[in-house]
Amino acid sequence: MFCKNCGKEIDDKAAICIHCGVATGNSSIGNEPVDNPSHVAGIASCCFPIVGLILYFMWKDQKPNSAKLVCKWMIGGIVAWVIVYGLCFVLGIAGTLASNY
């Protein structure tokens, strides 16, 4: 078999290329992490965006589907927090202006 990155010949059962270090996609060895995205991690990253950021950087190379899901939840959480704080600010200003009249 030949490496898809550098084109050099490697063992058919190799999980990574010995020449360039790129993963071959050969999962016959069985030591690759399973990439089943978890919504529990997503919900945690929605409530605590720093958790989502950490998980994203930990998983982006080894578990790209999980990293993408956590990133979406994290962005959704940030957007929700911005909307909530924006509404609180607008209602606070409206309450202050109403009490002056």
Using one digit for the tens of pLDDT, what is the confidence trace for 28-83? 545 556 788 888 988 899 889 899 899 999 988 888 999 999 999 999 999 999 99
Q: Are residue 52 and residue 72 in the same domain, yes or no?
A: yes
Domain that holds residue 9: 1-32
DSSP 29-40: S--SPP----HH
Total number of domains in the chain: 2
Q: Are residue 95 and residue 68 in the same domain, yes or no?
A: yes
Q: Are residue 63 and residue 91 in the same domain, yes or no?
A: yes
CA 75 from centroid of its chain's CA atoms: 10
Q: Are residue 28 and residue 45 in the same domain, yes or no?
A: no
Q: Are residue 90 and residue 48 in the same domain, yes or no?
A: yes
pTM over 0.95: no
Q: Are residue 48 and residue 81 in the same domain, yes or no?
A: yes
